Structure 1
Amino acid sequence: MSTTVLSRFGLVRMSGRDPHQQHRVASPLELFFDLVFVIAVSQASQNLHHGIAEGHAGAAVLSYVMIFFAIWWAWMNFTWFASAFDTDDWLYRVTTIVQMGGVLVLAAGVHDAMADGQWATVTWGYVIMRLAMVTQWMRLAVSDPELRAVALRYAIGIASVQCLWVVRIAFSAEVQFWTFWPAMLLEVLVPVWAERARTTPWHPHHIAERYSLFVLILLGESLLASANAIIDALNSGEHAEGVVGLAAAGLVLAAGVWWMYFSHEYGEQLDSTRTGFGFGYAHYLLFAAVGAISAGIEVELDLLSGEPEHFTATTASLSLSVPVAVFMAVVWLILLRTRISGTASAVFLLATAAVVACAMLPVVTVVGAALCVVLAVATIEVQRIRRSRRASAA
């Protein structure tokens, strides 16, 4: 379709954007898109908390992992597509808003999926999001002959896997569970296969900013959920001292997560498709861990509020310490490992292991985890100060 015809309908020819564009930042549409995911993440975190509190920790964690894959994968695919091909015309906006509608449908089905194993609503919400992406890739294939091969690979690959997701819901919950994992594997392999045709022109610094913003959104959801639960507990007037201590430790943990993630700029390290895949895929664990921290704090609050009937103090401790430790391990692996010294890495990893070890001493879990996070942050800051001094001296 010619540029003249497109302009008559208020459309822009979709093609690759300049991956070296100066001052590239997240668009208002991207920020709006992210906000909808807060609802889905909040639902997943709340149901993780309830599942652990009711004595179904293993099942709750597994279902949380599955739900969070759908949330993360849909968000990530749009983010990388937008980095390379955002036209910001009305059709692009409408297609993106359709994806947002899919997120809301998915969020509406989170409770049924995590509590009762009913995955139909979540599946349809996910499929709506993914088919909207198929539409975007087909538009690119029509618009840009040079990128047609990679666009068609994405469109065909995504559409094929959606057929598998839809067929799954006709079977029992057990079959749906076991078929989830191969379907997930096929999803993550689609970009690997598609990018072999041609690398899409995503913007490294834009991608780094988008991931950073999503971490902030996850932290905001975690702080809100934790604060609401703590405020309710304080208003009840019971265990006030313990609740205040938990609130202070929770703030330290959230601040530590923020500090560790935002201690360096990461755009320049995304210099190839290989590093892009590593960075993007590893964030699944990082995002899921941040999203689960509020659930851990709420389980600890349940422990403070009375004698739990369905879980032990160790379970409560692990529900908080494991997400914090997973976050620290992943942030070291993909962001800090090449930026701090071997000694600093050893201290950081020891602090990470100590966070989990604190779960074996439930009395000091929250305070101990907070102190370990402070140690990790201090290690990063010492490295940053030393590097700054060396740069000034040079």
Structure 2
Amino acid sequence: MNSFFHFTARNPKVTHRAATPLELMFDLASVIAIAAAAHGLAHAIEEAHTLQGIIGFLCSFFMIWWAWMNYTWFASAYDDNSSAFRILTMVIMFGSLMLAAGIDAVFDHERIWLALLGFVVMRLGMAVFWLGASRGDPDRRTTALRYAGGIAAMQIYWIALVVIVPPTTAFYLPLFILGAIGELSVPALAEHRGVTTWHRHHLIERYGLLNIIVLGETFIAITAMIQIEGGSAFPDADLFWLAALSAVIAFSLWGLYFTDEEHLASDELRHAMVWGYGHFALFAAGAATGAGMLVMLQSLDPAAHVDPQTGVLATVIPVAIYLLTLWAIRDRFCLSGAAQWILPAVAVLVFLMALLAPLALELIALVLMATVLIRRGLTRSTMKDTT
């Protein structure tokens, strides 16, 4: 390890820093796990186990997102394209695939042996990364060692939780939440001793790419809606219309995320952590929107016994959370005046429409599409006024 695992800090001011093919491969491993979590949520809602499904989804999505986020920030600061970096990355990717294979146990209320093993492999791989950074970046040696020690300690906690506490007991969820808080605390405590050299524009791109991946869960549902079955020449008209409305919703979420304003406008650590951590809710909501669309599809099958209203709410509630989160992590920092409050207002409006309005899905798709156009126009005029 002394000669092989040795990662030096990258220059955070390098221009045109883009995602590497290795990082894109890492995202591909993550999307498998995200898809497994989203499908588990959809199945739980269809079986009228909504609360259990939401808890299982959030717990499994936390493990996926947290491992992805830690790797992404480390790579932004220390990716040297060395053989050691590539090998460790592939080990972590294999852990992600094990996590994906074990997610079903989360929704079945069984001990999550395989998911735990995958998560521990991913996290211990990160601990080795930070030990290498402690050797290659003497100025931040204390920071790197705190990361490595904190990550290793939390893996002991997770192993003890799964081994000792059955998932059906009342203490399991509070202890899981406590572990999540512990994991979230590691970067805050470590970076307090010296901020690592992450690259702001690189991270903005990396987060945008993962957002595209989670929104891709909606494409799985849309494709299922327009599949031709029973020897028909064309898709069912009702399903085709549902697919069209779902596509408008998905494209609108994409359009509201990728706007003219720059994400993470400040390098200040507190702002960066709000932005970085806040994306958990946004990413989870994007994946859950795809799960909700699958529930809407099932609601059109009489044999499934799924209430159509359940399918609409399963889609629209994540959409509202997506919009509110996007406001919390970006718009309230970069916009002013009426434009700043567009997303919260639309989030409330689409939720009320889902509860009360006839033709709710049609109206929601129309409102979201209009929101993309109106917000883009307002923000562009604001930018012109300030130049």
Q: TM-score, normalised to structure 1's length?
A: 0.91
Shift of 1:116: 3.4
Q: How many angstroms apart in 1 are the aligned matches of 2:151 and 2:366? A: 44
Deviation (angstroms), 1:124? 1.2
1:338-394 Cα deviation digits (max 9, x unpaired)? 333422333432221111112214752322221221232122122134135436xx6
Distance 1:270 1:236, change over 3 A: farther
CA drift of 1:123 comes to: 1.2
Letter in 2 for 1:384: T
- The within-5 A match list for 1:206-221 is 206-221=202-217
Residue 372 of structure 1 corresponds to 367
Report the residue type matching 1:95 in the other structure: L
Confirm or deny that 1:111 pairs with 2:114. Answer: no
Contact 1:321 1:365 in 2 (8 A): no
- Of 120, 133, 147, 1:140 maps to 133
In structure 2, what is the equivalent of residue 131 of structure 1? Answer: 124
Q: Structure 2 CA distance, aligned partners of 1:321 and 1:272?
A: 34
Is residue 2:7 matched to residue 1:14?
A: yes
Aligned to 1:390: 385
Q: Which residue of 1 aligns with 2:347?
A: 352
| Deviation by residue 1:166-221 (Cα, 9 ceiling, x = unmatched) | 01112211243331010010000000100111111101111101001111112223
Distance 2:284 2:343 in 1: 21
State how far apart, in whole Å, the 2-side matches of 1:121 and 1:365 are. 41
Aligned 1:25-40 pairs, distance under 5 A: 25-40=18-33
- The structure-2 alpha-carbon separation of the partners of 1:134 and 1:239, relative to structure 1 and needing over 3 Å to count, comes to same
Letter in 2 for 1:359: A
**Which blocks of at least 5 consecutive residues in structure 1 are unaligned?**
none
Q: How does 1:1-394 map to 2 (within 5 A)?
A: 6=3, 13-170=6-163, 171-173=165-167, 174=169, 175-223=171-219, 225-232=220-227, 240-266=236-262, 269-306=265-302, 308-309=304-305, 311-361=306-356, 363-387=358-382, 389-390=384-385
| Structure 2 gaps, min length 5 | none
Distance in structure 2 (CA, Å) of the matches to 1:347 and 1:157? 40
Q: CA deviation at 1:315?
A: 2.3
Q: Percent identity?
A: 34
Residues 347 and 388 (structure 1), Cα distance of their counterparts in 2 relative to 1, 3 Å cut: closer
Letter in 1 for 2:204: A
SS in 2 for 1:271: coil
**Cα distance between partner residues in 2 of 1:236 and 1:113:** 37
> Counterparts of 2:241 and 2:65 in 1: how far apart (Å)?
32
Deviation at 1:265, TM superposition (A): 4.4
Q: 1:265 to 1:95 in 2, by over 3 A?
A: farther
Contact 1:347 1:379 in 2 (8 A): no
Instruction: Report the Cα distance in structure 1 between the residues aligned to 2:295 and 2:89, rounded to whole angstroms.
Output: 36
- Worse-matched range after superposition: 372-381 or 339-348: 339-348
Determine helix, strand or coil for the equivalent of 1:58.
helix
| Aligned mates of 1:315, 1:117 — CA distance in 2 | 27
Matched residues, number: 383
Once residues 166 and 23 of structure 2 are traced to their aligned partners in structure 1, the CA distance between those partners, rounded to angstroms, is 37
Is the contact between residue 14 and residue 85 of structure 1 (CA under 8 Å) also seen in structure 2? yes
Q: Which moved more, 1:311-320 or 1:38-47?
A: 311-320
Q: Is the 8 A contact 1:297 1:320 kept in 2?
A: yes
- TM-score normalised according to structure 2 size: 0.93
